[in-house]
Each structure stands twice: as C-alpha cells, then as structure tokens.
Amino acid sequence: MAILGLLNQAPMHGYELRKRVLVLLGGFRALSYGSLYPALKRMRENGWICVPDPADATRVLPADAPPLTGKRGKVVYALTAEGKERFQDLLTEGGPEAWEDERFGVRFAFFAQTEADVRLRILEGRRRRVEERRDGLRASLGRTRERLDRYTLELQQHGLDSVDREVRWLSELIDHERVDGTQIDRKKNNPPASTS
Amino acid sequence: MAILGLLNQAPMHGYELRKRVLVLLGGFRALSYGSLYPALKRMRENGWICVPDPADATRVLPADAPPLTGKRGKVVYALTAEGKERFQDLLTEGGPEAWEDERFGVRFAFFAQTEADVRLRILEGRRRRVEERRDGLRASLGRTRERLDRYTLELQQHGLDSVDREVRWLSELIDHERVDGTQIDRKKNNPPASTS
DNA sequence: TTCGTCATGTAATGGGTTACATGATTAC
DNA sequence: GTAATCATGTAACCCATTACATGACGAA
C-alpha cells in the first residue's frame, strides 16, 4: 500500500521509493532492497505499475523487457489504471486489516485521501483494539504487582502508559473527526463526492 | 532468551511457557505454536533444555524418545547446565544486540538478574539509539512541516512525542541506576558477587 | 455429552533480511 | 583518481505465521 500510495502521488524509481517509505513510516526502518525490488517486480506482473518509456511517455516498456544488462539506468515506475483502482480499494477498507498494528501506520499516512466515514471507522476500530490491550495490561499488572521485581514493573508500567497515551491520542483524533464530519454533513445532503 | 529465562525461574511445559512469554513482553502478541514447539525442539537438540522423567527426576528422557504417539501428556522442560550457562552469557551481553528494538524488551525483562554495569551499558546504548531516531524524526519534520497534510503531520508528531517520552524514561532509569551504582560501589571493594 | 480450554505437534507458506554482484554519478 | 552515495537486482536463508491434525480434561 505504501508503494501504491507513493506512486499515486508521483512516478519515481525504486531507490527514491525506499527513502519515501522510510519517512512515511516514521523513519523506523528502511525496506531492504531484497524486499523492495521483488515487490516492484510482482506488482508489475500484476499490472499495478508500469515503466513508461523515457523517450516516449505514451509507450510503456513491456513487463519482461528491461534487465538492460550491462548498462542499467534508473527505472521509473508509474501506477497503471489497475494500480490506481487497487489503491482506491485499499483506501476504502475499514475493517480490522486497517487497524491492526502492522497496517495502521501506513493506513493512517494516507488518511488525507481517505473518505471521512472510513477514517472514523478505522480510528474507532484502532481505539477499541488499543483499549483491549490497555485493559489486559492493567488487569495483569493489578494481579501481579506485588510479586514483580522493580524492572518488570517499570517495563509494564511504561507499556501501560504508552497504550494509555495512544488511546488518548486516538480519542482526540476521533473527536476532531466527529466535529468536522457533522459540519460537512450539514453542508451536503448529497452522497460524498468521490474527489478522485 | 525469553524461554531460557523463564525456564531458569522454574521448569514448565510449552503451553505455560507461551502464556508467560506473552505477559513478559507486555501482552503484545503471543508466540505461535508453530514457532514455539520447533524452538523447544531445537533447544533440546542443542542441549540447553531437557525433559526430566516425571517418575524419576534424576533421569532425563532422551532427546529423540517421546513423541508418545496416541497418548501425549504434558512435556515439562527444564534448563540443563549448558542452558543455564547460555542464559548467563546472554545476560552478560551489553552490545547493540541488547539495545536494538527486537531484543531490548526481553533483555530489560531480565534486568533484575543482570549485573549493574551491564544494565547501565544497555540503557545508555538504548538511549543513544532512540535519540538518533528522535533527532532524525525532528530534522525531517522540521524540513517538511509546511508541505505535509494534517494527518501525516499528526502521525509524525505523535511518533516524535513517543520517542521523546522513551528518551525521558530511559534517562530516569539511568539516573536511578547511577545513584544505586555509586552506593553499591562504596559498600563493596571486592568484585561483584555472582548471586546465582 | 458437548463445549471450551488445555496441550502438543507438523507442513506449507509467506515475508522479510543479509549477503552478494554490478555499475553510474557526484564530490573532493 | 577515488571514495561515497546513488541505483538495481538475485539467491540463500531465517524465522514466524497459518492451517491443520490430534487428543485430554473439566464444567454445564
């Protein structure tokens, strides 16, 4: 999704993509080349992305052509129509896939392009998820507080504080969304315009 | 390390181990069976853990024996001498392996059994690591603040706040360690007693 | 007696990383 | 000219998950 979303903003080559993904996800850790390039290959085989001919932008290089052995240059990728469609589909998903830890970050990074109702659904789902974790942690901490050594206690407490903070953050975002949402709802009586 | 450390506290069977690991790591996510049991198998082959005969605790079941097909019971694992040694070695590690994200949590969970100087080294390494991330994030945020949409900004800001909080947490722990450390150093002029 | 949870395990699969190999371009 | 970084890719590997298969035990 990160790749599709970035290519949706502008065509670019793999190396550039890698740096952008890194920033997008908060500089936590870069995608390795051994992961990035095969992914691009697969996406190309799936027809989601293509390599426009630099000499003639109306033409697209065939999917199996350009090893360009010996002299490799930059390979600029662009989204195809299917790729855009696929990205739009991902943008519409509002189920658990969108709020579990692995994807929430990427999902959130493209919130500006996500419909208001989907945003709200994801934020609420995420909050429920994090609240569950918080309650579990709180319960376990309450049960075992006496038996734990200083460090384990410290670790669990810090973990609890962290999820607590995340819940508050999400709640603020949700409140904000609700305010914006009602404002918009009052303005438009027609279905949400698909601003593609 | 989690498995070795838990078995170092008391022998137990796989299922129990799984629950304990979950609590140890802050309830984030349980180890899957497909990961746990093969790991136990490997550790047994390595001679780190063994299965004492329930009928006669002085005897140990051979490593290849107990599929017990048809009627399987609980398989209680215990650390061997080599296993304890291996765990002690892990406890002594104070390099990057100990402060990178993947291991710091587990490492910290066994701090009560870790020497004071190793603890300090790990905490300082960890802090450096998180500070680096914070500075990178801050710089990137400063550079791109104007061009970012509300949500990306919100995400990066929240990330920055999180690492900031972690740095403060680590600093408090380090201060605390330093105070305790000097107190202990004053008391004992002899090398640190190995309180095994 | 049936449902939930305890309990152990394997096989297929997926997704990532590391290490390697190559070469272009830029800055000093 | 040479070091750093840009740039693309492959192959081997590691490690975890999912899905599956089996069965014991306690409570309703």
Query: B-chain residues within 8 Å CB-CB of A162?
Result: 162, 165
Pick B64 or B158 by higher pLDDT: B158
Q: Which residues of A touch B152 (CB under 8 A)?
A: 24, 109, 112
pLDDT score, position B9: 95
Mean pLDDT of B95-119: 94
Per the DSSP assignment, residues forming a β-bridge with A73 are: none
CA atoms of A6 and B143, how far apart (whole Å): 19
- Residues A126, A129: Cα–Cα separation, whole Å: 5
What is the DSSP secondary structure assignment for residue B152, as one 8-state letter?
H
Cα distance between residue A85 and residue A76, in whole Å: 20
Res A184 pLDDT > 60: no
Q: Give the residue ranges with Cβ < 7 A from strand D.
A: A 13-16, 33-34, 37-38, 40-41, 66-68, 72-76; B 29-35, 39, 70-73
Q: Closest approach of chain A CAs to the CA of B44, in angstroms?
A: 28
Closest CA to A78 of A108, A109, A47: A47
pTM across the whole model: 0.86
Q: Please state at what angle helix A150-187 crosses helix A116-144, rounded to 10 degrees.
A: 160
| DSSP designation for B192 | P
Give per-residue pLDDT as tens, A86-99.
Answer: 999 999 999 999 99
Q: Which two structure tokens, joined as six digits, stand for B179?
A: 């105070």
Give the pLDDT confidence of A155-173 residue by residue, as tens digits: 999 999 999 999 999 999 9
Q: Which residue shows structure tokens 């904000």? A: A176
B165 contact A CB<8A? yes
> pLDDT digits over A19-33, tens only?
999 999 888 889 999
A137–B108 C-beta distance less than 8 A: no
Nucleotides of D under 7 A from a protein CB: 6-12, 15-20, 22-24
Asked whether residue A50 carries a pLDDT value surpassing 50, the answer given is yes
User: What is the gyration radius of the CA atoms in chain A, in angstroms?
Assistant: 22
pLDDT recorded at residue B185:
52
Number of other CB atoms surrounding residue B43 within 10 Å: 20
Beta partners for residue A77, in sequence order: A12
State the pLDDT at residue A175.
97
| pLDDT computed for residue B184 by the predictor | 57
Q: Mean pLDDT lowest for which of B55-69, B72-86, B107-121? A: B55-69
Q: Give B65: exposed, middle or buried? Use CB within 10 Å, 0-12, 13-18, 19+.
A: exposed
Q: What radius of gyration do chain B's Cα atoms show?
A: 22
Q: How far apart are CA A98 and CA A154, in angstroms?
A: 31
Q: Give DSSP secondary structure letters for B54-96.
A: SS-TTSEE-TT----TTS----EEEE-HHHHHHHHHHHH--SH
Q: A49 forms bridges with which residues in the sheet?
A: A79
